[in-house]
């Protein structure tokens, strides 16, 4: 799909990863609609890129409906917004659990459904879901987060052959550990030796490639992390057991503790 001249709606644009995606799409000539909760961050980015800033809380179904109503002309949607949702399951209240499900899973599904009639009428469009390698290699202390990201993968895999004949592309991008910006970087947790990271710009480049080349899935991670995803598909649970032996579950527990403070 040609990005130049297209209108792209990006959710979660106030995070470092969302900003990198926005800048990459801007460089491709797209007109941007940036959404997020923190207007103090959103508005300067929108001014920098000549974009439209829209304050929205995706845990609020009314805000999701408003986005769809006001921006039905979006040719492309990058579903990037997500809550960390890391930690042992019994650390979450039901309210926190519901909020994670609303933002990470319900909102992208609902927004896709609400924008579908306009895309179908135009005979073109593209949805990109920013998932996580946690969808392919779930680990302890991240069951809720992994469930939401795996849900996105199942949704997009089923949706792609459904919408393809209508001229609407569907892609999923799976970032691993991202340095410099994003949920992992915000925790400050140190990874074990040999576990590599990627940059926000690499994720942004994958989003562009997914749209332009109509790619179904793209992993953004070093080879070892990608291989663990393949291994887990063949032998479920083995990579998690290996990781537990290497670091004793330190990374997962430290990330969960850091993210709990921010919930």
Active site residues: 145
Neighbours of 121 (CB within 10 A): 11
Residue 121 has φ and ψ, to the nearest 5°, of -65, -40
Concatenating the DSSP letter of every residue in 152-217 gives HHHHHHHHHHHHGGGTEEEEEEEE-SBSSSSHHHHHTPPPPTT---B-HHHHHHHHHHHHHHT-SE
Residues listed for the chain: 263
Contact, 12 vs 81, CB < 8 A?
A: yes
Distance between first and last Cα of the chain: 37
């Amino acid at each position: 799909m040609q990005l130049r001249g297209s209108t792209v709606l990006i959710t979660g644009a106030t995070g470092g990863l969302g900003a990198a995606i926005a800048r990459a799409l801007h460089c491709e000539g797209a007109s941007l609609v940036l959404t997020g909760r923190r207007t103090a961050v959103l508005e300067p980015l929108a001014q920098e890129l000549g974009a439209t800033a829209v304050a929205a809380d995706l845990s609020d179904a009314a805000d999701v409906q408003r986005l769809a109503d006001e921006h039905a002309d979006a040719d492309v949607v990058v579903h990037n917004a997500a809550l960390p949702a890391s930690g042992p399951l019994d650390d979450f209240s039901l309210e926190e659990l519901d909020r994670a499900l609303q933002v990470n899973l319900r909102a992208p599904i609902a927004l896709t459904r609400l924008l579908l009639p306009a895309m179908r009428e135009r005979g073109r469009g593209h949805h990109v879901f920013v998932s996580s390698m946690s969808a392919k290699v779930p680990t302890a202390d991240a069951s809720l987060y992994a469930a939401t990201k795996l849900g996105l993968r199942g949704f997009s895999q089923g949706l792609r052959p459904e919408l393809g004949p209508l001229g609407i592309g569907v892609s999923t991008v799976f970032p691993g550990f991202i340095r410099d910006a994003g949920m992992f970087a915000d925790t400050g947790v140190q990874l074990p030796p040999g576990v590599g990271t990627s940059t926000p710009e690499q994720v942004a480049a994958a989003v562009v490639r997914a749209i332009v080349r109509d790619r179904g899935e793209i992993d953004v991670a070093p080879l070892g992390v990608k291989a663990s995803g393949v291994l887990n598909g063949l032998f479920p649970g083995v990579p998690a057991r290996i990781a537990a032996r290497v670091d004793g579950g330190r990374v997962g527990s430290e990330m969960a503790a850091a993210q709990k403070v921010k919930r």
